[in-house]
Amino acid sequence: MLLEAVYHRPRLNWSYAYDQNTIHLRLRAKKGDLTQVYAWTGDKYTWDTTKELIPMSLFTSDEMFDYWECETVPPHRRLKYGFLLQKDHERMWMTESEFQTTRPENPEKLFEFPYINRSDVFTPPAWVKDAIFYQIFPERFANGDPSLDPDNVQPWGGKPERDSFFGGDLQGVIDHLDYLSELGINAIYFTPIFTATTNHKYDTEDYMQVDPQFGDAKTLKKLVDVCHERGIRVLLDAVFNHAGKTFAPFVDVLEKGAESPYKDWFHVNQFPLEIQNEIPSYDTFAFEPLMPKLNTENPEVKQYLLEVAEYWIKEIGIDGWRLDVANEVSHEFWREFRKVVKRANPDAYILGEIWHESAPWLEGDKFDAVMNYPFTNAVIDFFVLGKLDAEGFANSIGKQLSRYPLQASEVAFNLLDSHDTPRLLTIAKGDKEKQKLAALFQFTFMGTPCIYYGDEIGMDGGADPDCRKCMEWNEDNQDRNLLAFYRRLIDIRASHPALRTGTLTFLEAGRQGTKLAYERRLGEDVLIVLVNTDETIQHFHLSVEERKWTNVFTDDSLRAERGTLSVKLPAHGYAVLKAVY
């Protein structure tokens, strides 16, 4: 038993309240080292009558560690606990301060979860678990009102450049809501729509005005209302890390320098504001002079931005915010932001743009979720690029699940590409079978999946700006078979709660392997997903319940004989099997 590898700490992802009554406990150990783990739990004030051993299950694994987990409902919302570690016949007890060979007889040295205070419970909005997001880059989705076109507008469908405009607007989205509803979309994430000089609008000029190129607040209100009538939620993009160079307070600082009353709204290192050797004398997003960084510790800036956050929720009825460059803004600001947003709408979804491990932002006092780029990278590396084998992929996913409390994983924003990355089909070098396999995992994994506009009809594109092409509305140029595949994926996900909130167990994920099998289970809703990323036919032989199974893609029936399910998949083949009771 390698005790040096055993790890637990109170709070964070190791000991947390899943809801107002339930506590989840997790413990890490060397991979394959322990054969059983128990939680030794009880109430600190009534230890003798409440103490019990709770078996822990192997929750997930990565390349180095196993992660054990259990849940308990303490009768008085508080818990003292330790762990019993077992390796075959060897047993060791773990307390807060030491390992010992004898069972702790009193709770004094044990870990403690003092109390489940309801205001401390991390509770993301429940609707997100059932959401199917669709990301829209407004300037490139559809031109519904040509009278709003800028003077330099180009014909729809031309080659995108960094400074090109094609006339997409909010009315264009309204005109195509039937398409989104038929696809099965029930949530839209818009990149910025507020006044700015660029086509992407991440250089905000006026946070309180819809860019005239897109419409106005009345048009946005109409869009939100008709979306809500269809059961579609609306998420807007907020750029609170930085503003644009034409933002009025920054213009004032440019003109008046140190005499400007707005000089402390930004991080000015030297007056006058200038650029030397391509480095601005003020902090920016990256080193982009167009995007001066806001000083969110300034009370006036803080008040202004929080009023913006509240205004669009209260006045227009949006369902939440996606927060650009969220990791470069202070945690203090985001704590206040959450309070303001949740007061305006307790069901609002707060999504941070963070590209790396994000546990500090997912403790219930800041964001509900982050854009899950570690998930993106793992899926692409296995299903598309072949950089990971099945074992490496399962380890990567296991590591990701171990990092966050379950409620954060259930609403994680799972994307495969975006306006900031090459399109999935281009990464796959045009191989739509690889795209399908990646999307299959995305839609059968926990968290909310997001489709980048046009992926479902076979749009391609390299890095920015090529990934921001105009949406293809000519059906003759759309891949209708791929569209039907996405519609079926969405329907399958919507029909099976296990795919949204069930447990995940890898059944086959071998080293140097191209075969992946995993189970999603929620009560009697049990599905097994099989994927073959190889160029040849592969045979699966899985130990499962001895019952009938139906492939929900083809309605073909299979039966597990003597507890073994045998399935043959073609090259790049897949199946989603449902247990029939």
Catalytic residues: 324, 353
349-355-361 Cα angle (round to 5): 50
- Give strand pairing partners of 351: 322, 369
Please name the residue that has the structure tokens 């964070």.
12
Name the helix (H) or strand (E) containing 413: strand 413-415
**How far is 265 from 253, CA to CA, in rounded Å?**
9
Residue 322 Cα to chain centre, angstroms: 11
Specify the DSSP class assigned to residue 271.
S
**How far is 456 from 490, CA to CA, in rounded Å?**
11
* Nearest C-alpha neighbor of 433 from the set 572, 576, 568, 538: 572
- β pairing state of 52-61 and 36-42: antiparallel
191 to each of 148, 200, 235, 434, 456, how far by Cα in Å? 18, 7, 9, 27, 19
- Give the residue ranges of DSSP H helices in 465-507: 480-495, 498-501
Q: By the 8 A CB rule, do 413 and 406 touch?
A: no
3-class secondary-structure state, position 26 = strand
**How far is 167 from 215, CA to CA, in rounded Å?**
11
* Maximum Cα–Cα distance across the chain: 83
Q: How many helices, marked H, and strands, marked E, lie in the chain?
A: 14, 29
* Nearest C-alpha neighbor of 495 from the set 448, 465, 527: 527
Q: Which two tokens stand for residue 91?
A: 């047993």
- β pairing state of 111-113 and 99-100: unpaired
Gyration radius from the chain CA atoms: 26
| Distance from the first to the final alpha carbon of the chain | 41
- β pairing state of 187-190 and 133-136: parallel
**How far is 393 from 377, CA to CA, in rounded Å?**
10
Identity of residue 301? V
3-class secondary-structure state, position 425 = helix
